[in-house]
Amino acid sequence: MAGTAVRGRLTWQDATVGVVKDETPEVRTISLDVPQWEGHRAGQHLDVRLTADDGYRAERSYSIASAPGEQVAITVERLPDGEVSPYLTEELRPGDDLELRGPIGGWFVWEPADGGPLLLLAGGSGIVPLRAILRYRERTGSTVPVRLLYSSRSWPDVIYRDELEQPAAGVEVIHTLTRLQPPGWTGYARRVDAQMLAEVVWPEDQAPLAYVCGPTSFVETVATGLVGLGYPAQRVKTERFGATGGTR
Amino acid sequence: MIEDLDGNAIGGMLLEVFGAEMTAAIGTCGNCGTTGPVAGLAVYLRGPGTVVRCPVCNFVLMVFVRQHEVTCVDLMGLAALG
């Protein structure tokens, strides 16, 4: 196919920071008032742009944490060497302005009509778009059965902990804590592997729909494992995030 | 080592360039013929431009280079997109 040069068509818009909530010591949920917001789908993300005094600009993608119909919110993890996330998690205050564009993405999305059962697999802050799916399922009164396998370093690192401790009817939440476990922990205590997937996932003959989000290595392991268990590749939707520029 | 992401990460840029949601569009590799959603392609963001490769054979499918608000797009590795 031929190359071409085009001008931008997706517009940046102004948002105002609303309520800010600390989820863990390193993770914060930021509610946003976006007057021009056209609405979003569960699983989509948006791009945030920061402009320094000297004109230098940095853009990052963040998954939308709220369900369609709820106020727009993003959940941001502070990365030690990050250009954008330290500002968003430490400096930003309610009432501050922020530039963003979105919603973005039409692949890693779920609608009640897509059915299930749903298998949600999250590594770290990969839980964010899956939380939007969970909330949307509840808001729409969907009764699709859900299993969520969520890998975190330790219990204090579990994002949306309170919410996940009281899941909606028909939602099972299974944690694995890879680095540190609280006293008396009886759950999984290792990285997700083929054996764990075999124990947790819906049998493929139930035609489950899988959503996998996390660091690249997590997504690779899980996606390969699911295909090995007989999941058709087109029933496994994946989203990878990394340290620079990718969806978080 | 540069960590690869996937086509979800360039959804905003693609929307800007094509004026339409593209992560669910199906691409066909011009080298090995693999077809799949743009969301599943391997994406490298840290170079001077953004490079998109086939996740199966690693062939370069798309390159995007941005300068002064203009994005130059090279889709030479794709046999089809839509």
Best interface-test mutation with A: which of B3, B6, B8 has the largest number of A CBs within 10 A? B8
pLDDT of B1 > 50? The answer is no
pLDDT of residue A1: 53
Please, what is the average pLDDT of chain A? 93
Strands A118-123 and A209-215 come out as parallel
pLDDT of residue B69: 79
pLDDT of A62 > 80? The answer is yes
Band (A242; pLDDT cuts 50, 70, 90): confident
pTM for the whole structure: 0.93
A28 by Cβ neighbours in 10 Å (0-12 / 13-18 / 19+) ranks as: buried
- Option in A10, A240, A242 nearest B12 (CB): A10
* Per-residue tokens: A33: 């008032």
Q: For A55, how many CA atoms within 13 A lie in the half-sphere containing its CB? A: 1
pLDDT tens for A77-99 read 999 888 899 999 999 999 999 99
Mean pLDDT of A53-70: 94
Q: What is the value of ipTM here, to two decimals?
A: 0.91
Residues in A closer than 8 angstroms to B31, CB to CB, are none
Please name the helix (run of DSSP H) or strand (run of DSSP E) that holds residue A169, with its range, or none: none
pLDDT of residue A221: 96
Q: How many residues does chain A have?
A: 248
What residue spans define the domains of chain B? 5-81
Mean pLDDT of A60-68: 97
Band (A4; pLDDT cuts 50, 70, 90): low
Tell whether A244 lies on the interface with B, counting CB pairs under 8 A.
yes
Q: Which residue of A has its CA nearest to B78?
A: A1
Mean pLDDT of A187-207: 96
Could you tell me which residue, A42 or B69, shows the higher pLDDT? A42
The DSSP secondary-structure symbol of A219 reads H
CA distance B58 to chain A (A): 16
Q: Where are the beta strands (DSSP E) in chain A?
A: 4-7, 13-24, 27-33, 45-51, 57-63, 72-77, 97-104, 118-123, 146-152, 171-177, 209-215, 236-241
> CB A241 to CB B5 under 8 A?
yes
> CB B69 to CB A8 under 8 A?
yes
pLDDT of residue A248: 45
Residues in B closer than 8 angstroms to A247, CB to CB, are 5, 8-9
pLDDT of residue A241: 87
Cβ–Cβ contacts within 10 Å for residue A53, how many? 5
Residues in A closer than 8 angstroms to B73, CB to CB, are 3-6
Taken in order of first residue, the domains within chain A and their CATH numbers are 13-104 (2.40.30.10), 112-241 (3.40.50.80)
Band (A247; pLDDT cuts 50, 70, 90): very low
pLDDT of A245 > 50? The answer is no
pLDDT of residue B3: 66
pLDDT tens for A149-189 read 999 999 999 999 999 999 999 999 999 999 999 999 999 99
Size of interface A-B (CB pairs under 8 A): 109
Mean pLDDT of A193-201: 97
Tell whether A237 lies on the interface with B, counting CB pairs under 8 A.
yes
CA distance A145 to chain B (A): 25
Is the Cβ–Cβ distance between B45 and A245 less than 8 Å? Answer: yes
pLDDT tens for B24-41 read 999 999 999 999 999 999
pLDDT of residue A194: 96
